[in-house]
Structure 1
Amino acid sequence: MTLRITGAQTWADDLALIAEAARAAGAVALGYFRQSPEVWWKNKDRSPVSAADFAANECLSDMLRSARPGYGWLSEETEDSRDRLSCETAFVIDPIDGTRAFIGGEVTWCVSVAVVHQGRPVAGALHAPALEEEYLAIAGGPALKNGLPIATTRWHEGEPMRLAVPEDMLAKFPPERRQSITRITHVPSLAYRLAMVAEGRIDGTLVKRNSHDWDLAAADLILECAGGRLTDLQGQALAYNRAEVSHPVLCGAAGSLVKPLAREFAALQHG
């Protein structure tokens, strides 16, 4: 599976590289899983980080930065350097997406690795070792789960929806509208939740304000290659590896659903 973009550049080798690195980091993290790893709390947002996050991050850094020294680096668990902004291509990394789930012994966490070129992901890998699941995508190619193609649901106007939305958001829908919505129990890993949309297990999800590049980049590409989209509430695609790495409220959904669902979310936000 090889895609050529802008001249002779190909991303197939990068996909193979990040898939291998994600598997290796997943194996490292799995060694800490349900073993009560040491946990710290970040001062900025009081989110947790564990010894497993740091160990997986080190594994990814060792494998990827040595293989592609000219690429920028953006990881949740590495102090940010603006040097990456001068790089057309960068790795965007979350060593463990869903750390709260990981610490709680839940299986819905994954290693998220993307290659971003000129602001958009061109190769993406999500590895969920506790579930023995792997999602891969390359720009212009299919989205794969454990080597098999996946696709979003083919939603049509008027059909019921399976949505991952907060309870307070669901309560804002008109009563008759709520009857057509099945709310999915919260999935702590945002990347994994978007992968669920990509394979048609759910129809769409709201992404709360202040998600970050590392939460989204790999899953964004996987969703796109599966026939869906991740946008802001105005329908605009996201740009990555910019100075600002956080994002506003977003909508991820099957392709036919993303525009109407984003409009609904926008109306409820301002309602």
Structure 2
Amino acid sequence: MSDAELAAHLAEAAGRILLEVRASGVFGEKALGKAGDQTANQFLVHALREARPDDGLLSEEEKDNPERLAQSRVWIIDPVDGTREYGEARADWAVHVGLAIDGEPRIGAVALPGLDGGIVLRTDQLAPVPPAPQRLRMVVSRTRPAKEAVAVAEALDAELIPMGSAGAKAMAIVLGQADIYLHSGGQYEWDSCAPVAVALAHGLHCSRIDGTPLVYNQADVYLPDLLICRKEHAATVLGQQKLVA
């Protein structure tokens, strides 16, 4: 099984597990998020250590092992991206399984199990990104929209689309449901590694909001910001970001 096939298989399987945990009906909303995180994490961690024992691993739900810093290949996972949305039985949550090679997000899969029938977007199965409408659409946090993103949206006269998880927002660009994902409120490597890998494979622009590359498998896993959009919009969005910063 190739790395991309493995990533997609595990993301899809973890999504099914999460749906089963929720369907059990034994957890309240708050406890459900914790139970889902821990259950999906155990599955993904054990599966990756079995399938790729020589690779490094970084998970939101696992104690960090600094030995990964000396490794070229590091799997970066988020068992439930959008724990609140998962607990609320919304559709905008995701499972991230990404592989960084020498710091670059090269392989990834993002499962969206909450959508009708569930889908997995992956780096090895590509579809054309639908064209943008005349008025651009920007996805922002449904609970804490970053002021920089709102200011850029106003400058571009872009429609704001509130949405949950980072993975759901990024995949909305890939699916043609939105056009710009500009985030400046702080994230971690597991929030964006798999989504960025998938977005890059689909020909989208992905960078920090100053235009510099996103680099993974760092000692400090905090990533303050990112931009995902179509390449033809990147210069305009980056220019507006500099004006409002």
TM-score by length of 1: 0.80
What is the rounded CA distance, in whole Å, between the counterparts of 2:150 and 2:200 in structure 1? 29
When structure 1 is superposed on structure 2, of 62-71 and 28-37 the one drifting more is 28-37
State how 1:205-216 maps to structure 2 within 5 Å. 205-216=181-192
C-alpha distance after superposition, 1:172-231 (max 9, x if no partner): 4597x46x32111x2111011111112221110111232111110111011112221221
Amino acid aligned to 2:45: S
Q: Tell me if 1:19 matches 2:8.
A: yes
Considering fraction of residues, name the structure with more helix: 2
Contact 1:93 1:214 survives alignment (8 Å)? yes
Aligned to 1:233: 209
**Which has the greater radius of gyration?**
1
What is the rounded CA distance, in whole Å, between the counterparts of 1:182 and 1:135 in structure 2? 24
Aligned to 1:162: 137
Aligned to 2:241: 265
Contiguous gaps of at least 5 residues in structure 1: 1-11, 42-47
Q: Tell me if 1:90 matches 2:66.
A: no
Amino acid aligned to 1:151: V
Q: Secondary structure at the match of 1:256?
A: helix
> Identity over aligned residues, as a percent?
26
Q: Tell me if 1:183 matches 2:169.
A: no
CA separation of 1:113 and 1:160: change in aligned 2, threshold 3 A: same
Q: Secondary structure at the match of 1:239?
A: coil
CA separation of 1:183 and 1:154: change in aligned 2, threshold 3 A: closer
Q: Tell me if 1:194 matches 2:170.
A: yes
Contact 2:91 2:114 survives alignment (8 Å)? yes
Q: Secondary structure at the match of 1:106?
A: coil
Aligned to 1:121: 105
CA-based RMSD: 2.4
CA separation of 1:103 and 1:89: change in aligned 2, threshold 3 A: same
How many residues were matched structurally? 238
Contact 1:110 1:189 survives alignment (8 Å)? yes
CA separation of 1:57 and 1:171: change in aligned 2, threshold 3 A: closer
2:129 aligns with one of 140, 148, 151: 151
C-alpha distance after superposition, 1:209-267 (max 9, x if no partner): 32111110111011112221221122112010111111122221111112220221232
Q: What is the deviation of 1:110?
A: 1.2
Amino acid aligned to 2:79: P
Q: Tell me if 1:37 matches 2:18.
A: no
Amino acid aligned to 1:134: V
Contact 2:129 2:202 survives alignment (8 Å)? yes
CA separation of 1:206 and 1:154: change in aligned 2, threshold 3 A: same
TM-score by length of 2: 0.88
